Structure 1
Amino acid sequence: MNKLKLAYETRKGKAYHGNSLELLDSLKDNSINLVMTSPPFDLLRQKSYGNLNGDAYIEWLSEFARKIKEKLTEDGSFVLDLGGAYQKGVPVRNLYNYKVLIKFVEELGFFLAEEFFWYNSSKLPSPIEWVNKRKIRAKDSVNTVWWFSKTEHPKSDVRNVLVPYSDRMQKLLKDGKKYYDPKARPSGHNISEGFNKDNGGAIPSNLLQIPNSESNSKYLKYCKTTGVKGHPARFPAKLPEFFIKFLTEPDDIVLDIFGGSNTTGEVAENLERQWIYCDLEKEFVGTSVFRFAQNEEQAKILHEKIINGEYVDLRDNTLV
């Protein structure tokens, strides 16, 4: 097994190559504000980036969660993105993501602050057998995203992730008297005269509608020009962006223990948060630096250095 190694640093972050369990052991207790990650899922078909199945998967993931709980600040959060899956050979769902949820809460002592659902409208129909061929199931387009916390009152501010008002609400803000009467509704809601106050946006729901349709990013461009394969399971930047804005403040520390292409680190850097990345695969670490390269030539040099085991210093965004 590869020994943990610092691969590169940027102005706000550090990227490590190696086992995340070793990285977690090296971190101070109560020091991480947010762990935002998407591990390999419990899938029947083996993926190039590795995955386990069944109870073995849940125990494997729990080993990381136990250490994460120690490293989180008292008001810190652990956000875990898990895709759905089917049982082998039958059109019946695998409950692994719900088993993870229950185990983390009932056995490991996390709180479920809130459950989120990421709807990826651009996801291809799957599984092929039940959806495309036999046509007996609908397309699976939603991931469960569990927001765990160390205490019942984690740091959070929904005002940082407000969404644009609907057309109807915008009309109401312009002329409230024309569109509603302040009074109690049959539902029990008391609609006051202040209902049409402009708060800068609407409170988001826990259904995050974010297409994962990246095609022309700098990351993919440099993968192509360098002649290397990008990470096959990247989540879109808007997913970590939502939780980083929602659950942290500038200079807080964000950790991704299954870093992959380092979308989390790039978003954190842009939002002035400190970040820590780790991945077991050297090639994924090598391509993740593309997110911080200034141009194609630099991207190739940085990738080669990391693949050769050299440390890269990008703290002043120049080559060393």
Structure 2
Amino acid sequence: MHQMNLFDGVVASYMDGAPRTNEQLYRDLIETGCVSEGDLAKKVPVGQAGVMFSLVKRRVRWYQQELRRLNVIERVPEKRGSWRLADRDKKDLTKAPPGVVMLGFSSDLGVALWGSCQDVFGSLTENIAVCLTSPPYPLRKPRAYGNPAETEWVDWMCRALEPIVKRLLPGGSIALVLSNDLFEKGQPSRSLYRERFTIEMSRRFSMSLMDTVIWANNSKAPGPCQWASLQRMQLNTGYEPVLIFCNDPLKSFADNRRVLEPHTETHRRLIASGGEHRARVNSDGAYRVKVGAYGTPTAGRIPKNVLHMGHSCADQLRMRKLARSAGLPVHGATFPLALAMFLVRYLSRPGDLVVDPFGGTMTTAKACEMLGRLWLSCELMAEYVMAGRFRFEGHAD
């Protein structure tokens, strides 16, 4: 781990949500390598009276007061001399104050920030190749982290993406994992929020819809209960759509050669035998097969745009276990690392900057770290940033 600067160390000390006395804060700073015991204990004369003070402790307390002024930390009424993260709600989630952006952790390839996406990306000057995220769905029953109502969602989402669109390189993509399981109030008919959003992305930003990739997830819980299990009007849902937009389709960075799959055993035998041995015509001439077709050796087969992946994965389960052991709430809406890795590999090139404005527990960030992409993720809730750090043990600062 690289040495933290002192301010980041002060912030990190409070990030687990537990109350801290100043003495506990100083011990944390020593353990993280921000200061040494000698520097902390060293005193010098200050002022005309020459009173001996530790300048390091004075600087730490100044940072502490700055965090208080920003409403990031607050005094603990029942514990004199203790401070903790402020604005904790009933679900023990700590929301970043407006205008405040702080480093959660970093690696050699990226940074995880605690703050709102508007505050983070509104001031970003770097060019972006890909935005991959799963934003809050417009659910009628909000999750712990909150989400906008369906009537507000399209405009809210476009405003969140606007600063990212402005920094998107020609050929860059925005990929959003969305829900297909939203229904009109009291009706078995599905919401058209995705269609409205697609039209608005084209109208506002001239973003073209490249594809709707289907994430087929057979491990999804049965539902919608009212319309499938009780009224029997619907089938159980088994997928979530991934909308992929591009600002300049002919320059798109997407390349299916980066995600080729192994050939089937049947196809390998066909290649080895030189391809098809007879010509034929199918579907009234729509498809014609020539002698030798499918016989050219290739690196692999092009994947279908239906991806079959379960919801959980080893990396996700490990992170959840570590989060619970640390007393952190578990994020209620995640997607598997395998899905993020597929999309990052498909849509971006090594060294590209990939961003996630709704970072959650940093699934997109972890995929980028493993695939050699630069990354920037932000998350509004401090506890999710802390949980996401567990994915980067051995890599994060």
Q: Is the 8 A contact 2:253 2:349 kept in 1?
A: no
Pairing 1:50–2:132 present: no
Q: Please, which moves more after superposition, 194-203 or 117-126?
A: 194-203
The residue number in structure 2 matching 1:255 is 355
Pairing 1:155–2:253 present: yes
* Whole-angstrom CA distance in 2 between matches of 1:274 and 1:114: 24
The residue number in structure 1 matching 2:136 is 40
Structure 1: unaligned runs, 5 residues or longer: 295-312, 316-320
Provide closer, same or farther for how the CA distance between residues 238 and 192 of structure 1 changes in structure 2, counting only shifts above 3 A.
farther
Q: When the two structures are superposed, what TM-score results if normalisation uses the length of structure 1?
A: 0.86
Amino acid at match of 2:174: F
Offset, 1:180: 4.2
The residue number in structure 1 matching 2:177 is 81
* Whole-angstrom CA distance in 1 between matches of 2:118 and 2:196: 22
Q: Is the 8 A contact 2:143 2:332 kept in 1?
A: no
Q: Is the 8 A contact 2:202 2:208 kept in 1?
A: yes
The residue number in structure 1 matching 2:7 is none
Structure 2: unaligned runs, 5 residues or longer: 1-96
The residue number in structure 2 matching 1:100 is 197
Q: Deviations over 1:141-162 (max 9, x none)?
A: 2212111111122112111101
Q: Deviations over 1:273-293 (max 9, x none)?
A: 110010101111111101012
* Counterpart pick for 1:236 among 336, 343, 356: 336
Pairing 1:91–2:196 present: no
Provide closer, same or farther for how the CA distance between residues 194 and 292 of structure 1 changes in structure 2, counting only shifts above 3 A.
same
Q: How does 1:184-263 map to 2 (within 5 A)?
A: 186-191=285-290, 193=292, 195-214=294-313, 217-263=317-363
* Whole-angstrom CA distance in 1 between matches of 2:119 and 2:165: 15
Offset, 1:96: 0.6
Q: When the two structures are superposed, what TM-score results if normalisation uses the length of structure 2?
A: 0.70
Pairing 1:277–2:377 present: yes
* Whole-angstrom CA distance in 2 between matches of 1:227 and 1:67: 35
Q: Is the 8 A contact 1:123 1:141 kept in 2?
A: yes
Q: How does 1:126-141 map to 2 (within 5 A)?
A: 126-141=223-238
The residue number in structure 1 matching 2:241 is 144
Q: Is the 8 A contact 1:237 1:267 kept in 2?
A: yes
The alignment covers a number of residue pairs equal to 295
Amino acid at match of 1:108: F
SS in 2 for 1:165: coil
Q: Is the 8 A contact 1:15 1:276 kept in 2?
A: yes
**Structure having the higher Rg:** 2
SS in 2 for 1:65: helix
Amino acid at match of 1:138: L
The residue number in structure 2 matching 1:12 is 109
Q: Is the 8 A contact 1:32 1:71 kept in 2?
A: yes
> What RMSD over aligned residues (CA atoms) do the two structures have, in Å?
1.9
SS in 2 for 1:56: helix
Offset, 1:268: 0.4
Provide closer, same or farther for how the CA distance between residues 204 and 69 of structure 1 changes in structure 2, counting only shifts above 3 A.
same
- Give the % identical residues: 27
